[in-house]
């Protein structure tokens, strides 16, 4: 009955009557999608001002692959056959651990069901020879669409563990299926499917920014509505939301008010949940470049790998609008793209990712051969080895009202998300290292007049020469050395900063729509006890450890710490959190990957 109601509420399929968009002529039509025209119209009409989905990671043309008989038979062999009848529901929003569905005979339609403010709509139709599924099959996200049989026949259900076997064992098939899942996510983000997760909030509110940053980093299918626009107002009205409810998320069957990334992750099934009672081989804490590299190498080398992050995947690197010094990318690439690809790679090899998921304690007394990690929600994870890749946290200035303006005018990153509220308005960047220089150029490139405030006497002391030259030549950048921001003013949002020039001993207030702070960071180690660190709090490993650091456990083991191993056996530290690290993406990924060799050796010495 529920399925019948959903059927009657379904809006006309946008693809109907237009034919396949991504088909090649003369071949069977396994999948038909909403056309780009329809998608653009929908986007323009419904959600002006939403975050751009970004460049597709793979060409969307691979979303509907055409498998020859032999490949299709191989794909079907991973599933179990089920006879279907018109109207059968194959999956519905909210379900976890859904199967990949291979259509042997008949056809299946994929529908975005109605939410508080939009009627249902058909997203795609999959005929015999195609398969139904998108990236959530690998990320573990709950289903947000409805799959229903349009024409009865036979489907082959491939459960998650069989899909993982396919990914690991059949290179040819896994390549085709994996690229299709990624391309479908890109297509869905730009389709009516995005209305399945609608986020509404005030453009410059810190809580809304946290939610949007999480959604963007997880590449969640979603639409953003600015509550200050007519589209946002209309959406709030039809969903029965008031200002007090913001930020809010409207999902099929439910609405989250005063929503947080954690609440959204719980609803979508992206929080930590362990399906196996067995301990993990390795748990990696922190999904920046170092943690992601450890996850890719751990999972690809057969370790049961869990990767957690307190915020979302990508770490500091995801906040970098342009990384120009990463090996092999002479034209630079955005940190979000780099880490987004790494996430896909880790998922492909079968790593389990969960965020937001904060580690709050590590039991350093081994529980038998296992290490026990405690998470903020009270869950525990037992594993044979732990890799700490928690990086460093940004430093702030000890100014009155600083906490009030964090996320509401004060930012620690300069990406599209932070910068769009300031486009064309004057901004201030604090810091003398490369990250500050990059941010200043990025913001100036978006039409802002930028004051770059540097405490030291010379901008060239810490910054790369190529950046210094570009900054000094840029007509919209003013470099103010021997200067400091000493006062902040505004209402709910930052409006003005006072900059004190220490040479002239003069202070000047000036308008400021965004203060971008890049003055270094402190290691994210406050959740750890009993681990050897340097005076600066960064974690020491292997040759940095002295005999005094090594307790009796090492005598029992009869070995010295392995490369990247900390003073606690089986616990490793990589990336920015590691004492003496280079604080660069390439160094972090190198350390993360290398540590896995030590993890293997450490596990081999257990029992």
Ligand X SMILES: Cc1cc2nc3c(=O)[nH]c(=O)nc-3n(C[C@H](O)[C@H](O)[C@H](O)COP(=O)(O)OP(=O)(O)OC[C@H]3O[C@@H](n4cnc5c(N)ncnc54)[C@H](O)[C@@H]3O)c2cc1C
Contact positions vs ligand X (CB under 6 A): 285-291, 308-311, 315-317, 319-320, 323-325, 358-359, 389-392, 413, 435, 438, 524, 527, 575-576, 583-586, 588
The residue whose two tokens read 């959903």 is: 6
Residue with smaller CB distance to ligand X, 37 or 526: 526
Strands 305-308 and 131-132: unpaired
> H-helix or E-strand containing 153?
strand 146-158
Strands 146-158 and 80-84: antiparallel
Shortest Cβ 367–ligand X spacing (Å): 20
Q: How far apart are CA 432 and CA 420, in angstroms?
A: 23
Residue with smaller CB distance to ligand X, 557 or 586: 586
Residue with smaller CB distance to ligand X, 113 or 390: 390
Q: Which residues contact 251 (CB under 8 A, 6 or more apart)?
A: 93, 115, 144, 196, 197, 198, 267
- Asked if 140 contacts 171 with a C-beta cutoff of 8 angstroms, the reply is no
Residue with smaller CB distance to ligand X, 75 or 588: 588
Q: Which two tokens stand for residue 499?
A: 């900059």
Shortest Cβ 178–ligand X spacing (Å): 24
Residue 505, sorted as left (phi over 0), alpha (psi -120 to 50) or beta, turns out to be left
Residue with smaller CB distance to ligand X, 82 or 322: 322
For 360-411, the DSSP string reads: EEEEEEEETTEEEEEETTS-EEEEEEEEE---EEE-----TTHHHHBTTTEE
Q: What are phi and psi of 12, to 5 degrees?
A: -55, 135
Shortest Cβ 390–ligand X spacing (Å): 4
- Asked if 6 contacts 120 with a C-beta cutoff of 8 angstroms, the reply is yes
- Asked if 598 contacts 299 with a C-beta cutoff of 8 angstroms, the reply is no
Shortest Cβ 438–ligand X spacing (Å): 6
Q: How far apart are CA 439 and CA 430, in angstroms?
A: 10
- Asked if 576 contacts 537 with a C-beta cutoff of 8 angstroms, the reply is no
Shortest Cβ 335–ligand X spacing (Å): 6
Residue with smaller CB distance to ligand X, 255 or 313: 313
Shortest Cβ 68–ligand X spacing (Å): 42
Shortest Cβ 345–ligand X spacing (Å): 15
Shortest Cβ 432–ligand X spacing (Å): 14
Residue with smaller CB distance to ligand X, 187 or 373: 373
Shortest Cβ 435–ligand X spacing (Å): 4
Strands 280-285 and 248-251: unpaired
* Strand segments (E) across 237-358: 248-251, 254-256, 280-285, 305-308, 352-354
Residue with smaller CB distance to ligand X, 221 or 440: 440
Residue with smaller CB distance to ligand X, 76 or 318: 318
């Amino acid at each position: 009955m529920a399925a019948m109601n959903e059927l009657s509420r379904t809006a006309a399929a946008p693809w109907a009557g237009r034919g396949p968009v991504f088909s090649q002529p003369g071949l069977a039509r396994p999948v038909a999608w909403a056309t780009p025209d329809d998608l653009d119209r929908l986007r323009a009409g419904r959600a002006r001002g939403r975050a751009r989905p970004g460049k597709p990671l793979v060409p969307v043309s691979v979303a509907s692959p055409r498998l020859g008989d032999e490949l299709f038979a191989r794909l079907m062999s991973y599933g179990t056959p089920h006879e279907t009848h018109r109207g059968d529901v194959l999956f519905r929003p909210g379900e976890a651990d859904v199967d990949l569905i291979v259509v042997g005979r008949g056809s299946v339609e994929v529908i975005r069901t109605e939410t508080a403010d939009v009627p249902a709509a058909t997203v795609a139709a999959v005929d015999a020879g195609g398969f139904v599924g998108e990236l959530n099959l690998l990320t573990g996200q709950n289903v947000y669409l409805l799959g229903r049989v349009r024409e009865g026949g036979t489907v082959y259900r491939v459960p998650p563990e069989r899909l993982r076997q396919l990914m690991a064992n059949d290179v040819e098939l896994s390549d085709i299926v994996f690229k299709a899942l990624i391309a479908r996510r890109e297509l869905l983000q730009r389709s009516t499917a995005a209305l399945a997760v609608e986020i509404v909030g005030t453009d410059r509110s810190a809580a809304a920014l946290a939610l949007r940053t999480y959604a963007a980093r997880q590449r969640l299918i979603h639409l953003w509505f600015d509550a200050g626009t007519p589209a946002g107002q209309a959406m709030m009205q039809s969903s029965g939301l008031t200002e007090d409810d913001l930020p809010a998320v409207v999902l099929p069957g439910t609405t989250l008010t005063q929503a947080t990334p954690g609440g959204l992750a719980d609803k979508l099934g992206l929080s930590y949940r362990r399906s196996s009672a067995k301990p993990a081989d390795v748990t990696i804490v922190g999904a920046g470049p170092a943690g992601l590299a450890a996850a890719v190498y751990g999972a690809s080398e057969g370790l049961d790998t869990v990767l957690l992050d307190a915020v979302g995947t990508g770490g500091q690197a995801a906040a970098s609008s342009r990384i120009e010094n990463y090996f092999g990318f002479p034209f630079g690439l955005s940190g979000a793209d780099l880490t987004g690809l790494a996430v896909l790679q880790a998922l492909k090899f079968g790593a389990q990712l969960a965020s937001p998921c904060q580690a709050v304690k590590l039991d350093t007394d081994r529980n038998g051969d296992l290490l026990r990690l405690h998470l903020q929600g009270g869950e525990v994870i037992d594993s044979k080895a732990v890799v700490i890749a928690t990086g460093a946290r940004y430093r702030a200035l000890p100014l009155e009202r600083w906490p009030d303006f964090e996320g509401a005018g004060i930012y620690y990153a300069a990406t599209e998300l932070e910068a769009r509220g300031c486009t064309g308005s004057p901004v201030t960047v604090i810091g003398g290292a490369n990250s500050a220089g990059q941010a200043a150029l990025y913001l100036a490139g978006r039409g802002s007049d930028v004051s770059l405030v540097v405490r030291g006497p010379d901008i060239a002391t810490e910054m790369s020469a190529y950046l210094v030259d570009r900054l000094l030549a840029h007509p919209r950048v003013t470099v103010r050395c021997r200067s400091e921001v000493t006062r902040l003013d505004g209402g709910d949002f930052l409006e003005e900063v006072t900059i004190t020039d220490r040479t002239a001993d003069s202070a000047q207030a000036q308008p400021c729509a965004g203060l971008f702070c890049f003055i270094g960071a402190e290691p994210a180690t406050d959740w750890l006890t009993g681990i050897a660190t340097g005076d600066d709090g960064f974690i020491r490993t292997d040759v940095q450890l002295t005999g005094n650091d090594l307790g009796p456990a090492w005598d029992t083991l009869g070995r010295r710490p392995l490369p990247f191993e900390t003073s606690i056996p089986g616990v490793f530290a990589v990336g920015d959190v590691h004492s003496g690290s280079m604080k660069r993406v390439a160094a972090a990924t190198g350390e993360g990957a290398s540590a896995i060799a030590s993890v293997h050796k450490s596990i081999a010495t257990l029992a």
